[in-house]
Amino acid sequence: MNILSAPQQRNLDWFTIEHEPVTSVDLMNRAASICSEEIIRDLLNSEIAKSLILLCGTGNNGGDGFVLLRYFKAVHIPVSCYLVPFGQMSEDCRVQYELVEDDVLTWNSGTTPEWDENTIIIDSILGTGSNRTPENELKQAIEWVNSANCPVYAIDMPSGLPADGLPVHSTIVQASKAFTFHAPKLTFFLPETAEYAGNWKVLDIGLMHNPSLEQSAYSLLQKEDVNALISVRKRFSHKGTYGHALLIAGSDGKMGACLLSAEATLRSGPGLLTVHTVTQGKFQLHQRIPEAMAHWDLNENELSGEALPDLQGFSAVGIGPGLGMGSGVLKAVKAVLRSKKSCVIDADALNVLAQNPELLEELHENCVLTPHPKEFERLAGAFENSIDRLNLAIRFAQKYMCTLVLKDAITAVVNSKGEVYFNTTGNPGMAKGGSGDTLTGIITGCLAQQITPFDAARIAVFHHGLAGDKARDEKGERAMLPGNLITYLRIEKL
């Protein structure tokens, strides 16, 4: 699903108005009708009767709110509606306002609504139609919403939150849910702003599709996207059909990272796995993962880089988990890059790249890099905010022709064409050492099966997060462990 900007959304509205054809007022009625169904469904599912406080602005988002008022009153839901005055009322908003004018109060500092624990506030003040800095009654209304201890439903966008970038002020509605129209908005995926939208949902309001108006570098990674990338295994296949993965990982005190990554590699479906690790890890590897073959380094405690197996005999290579920063890691990273094999570069292998920036020139289209924010900063340079980081990531992937997996609460997968997919599976319980090692293993296993780097990265981050969600449901966010991600991993069509 493409993520559209506010101008793109407006252009699609007008394209629909001109070509369906439908009047702008009727399109507003349609959007608000669909939105009211969602809200009413929520209310019906609640065990406690709810009352509503509806705040409407003077633009088209306010017009949506006035339509909602009509629907709520028609089904006898208790609702108090307030007009928050700012600027001149739009033509369509005025049409809707005049239909309900007798039921609308004007917001001012002396008309603060009364609420209790059974109240839901509906924010229909600004939507995507304004990037103004809230002042006077507008500012007061938003601050009141945030001070009330009530669930808040935002219509299209939380008021004060821009759709396409970071806000220049802090007066923003903190929504529990946002019902956004037609497509998600970029700010739903940024660390600084994602929390404002709460549990957002995209509502299909029947806009006509026009590919020329909906082109976007940004997309939401969905189940349907990932299903299309996963093939069905043939009955008459064998271990050679699904590739031979090599994992270079582990050192003194960090064999856990190696073992997590190795098991995750196997669980993702390659036919064979060889683990190259330090001799200290012999007993642990054979005991924990008997399915993996072992290739031992010359050293007992840290990678020498001198005794790697012939890389041409493998379908894909993962390097980095638990390696440490010994001199042998640099030799191994050079060998992996120069083999031109499909590879995942993670953890200490990324840190070696950052310390030896001349090696960046040896990155290629078969490389997947999986940095967390600090690792990416060391690789690509400083950034001021998440928009700056995203643009820097796009330039980095394009320059070095690689795939980037920017790990975060919402992970972004970026390819060499500048396409970005945001993944929303996963949860805070995955914020533990070892979760990234499992992701490296999953990507490595997918690459070994001849899945392209960009596709492998998207499959891996989606199912890695989904396994985390299953682990949370069974174990709880605090108690779940990175090993549980492997237990619940299922890379299958959903």
Own/partner long-range contacts of 272-275 (Cβ < 8 Å, ≥24 apart):
272/239, 272/240, 272/243, 272/244, 272/245, 273/244, 273/245, 273/246, 273/247, 273/445, 274/244, 274/245, 274/246, 274/247, 274/309, 274/314, 275/246, 275/247, 275/249, 275/250
Burial (Cβ within 10 Å: 0-12, 13-18, ≥19) of residue 432: middle
pLDDT tens for 123-141 read: 999 988 667 789 999 999 9
Specify the pLDDT at position 108: 86
Give this prediction's pTM.
0.95
Chain mean pLDDT for the chain: 96
pLDDT value at position 111? 75
Q: Which two tokens stand for residue 370?
A: 């999986």
Band the pLDDT of 345: cuts 50, 70, 90.
very high
Res 486 pLDDT > 70: yes
pLDDT at 164 over 80: yes
Q: Average pLDDT of 249-272?
A: 97
Rounded mean pLDDT of 324-341? 96
Q: How far apart are CA 144 and CA 271, in angstroms?
A: 59
Please give the Cα distance from 445 to 441 (Å, whole number).
6
Burial class (CB in 10 A: 0-12, 13-18, 19+), 224: exposed
Q: Are strands 403-406 and 411-414 parallel, antiparallel or unpaired?
A: antiparallel
Q: Work out the average pLDDT over 345-364.
A: 97
Angle at 482 between CA 481 and CA 486, to 5 degrees: 115
Q: What is the pLDDT of residues 408-445, one digit of tens each?
A: 999 999 999 999 999 999 999 999 999 999 999 999 99
Predicted local confidence at residue 129, as pLDDT: 64
How much is the pLDDT for 338? 97
d(CA 145, CA 123): 8
Contacts of 26 (CB under 8 A, 6+ apart): none
pLDDT band of 117, cuts 50, 70, 90:
confident
First-to-last alpha carbon distance for the chain, in angstroms, is 17
Output the pLDDT for position 204.
97
Check residue 130 and give its pLDDT. Answer: 66
Q: What average pLDDT does range 4-30 have in this prediction?
A: 96
In this structure, are residues 273 and 281 in contact, taking their beta carbons and an 8 Å threshold? Answer: no
pLDDT at 110 over 80: no
Burial (CB count within 10 angstroms: exposed 0-12, middle 13-18, buried 19+), residue 4: buried
State the pLDDT at residue 464: 98
Distance, CA of 396 to CA of 382 (rounded, Å)? 13
What is the average per-residue pLDDT within 262-277? Answer: 98
- Residue 124 bridge partners (DSSP): 56
Gyration radius from the chain CA atoms: 26
Distance CA 28, CA 87 (A): 20
pLDDT at 251: 96
91 vs 60: CA distance, rounded Å: 8
- CA within 13 Å, CB half, 137: 19
Average pLDDT rounded to a whole number, residues 246-256: 97
Structure tokens at 208: 């006509």
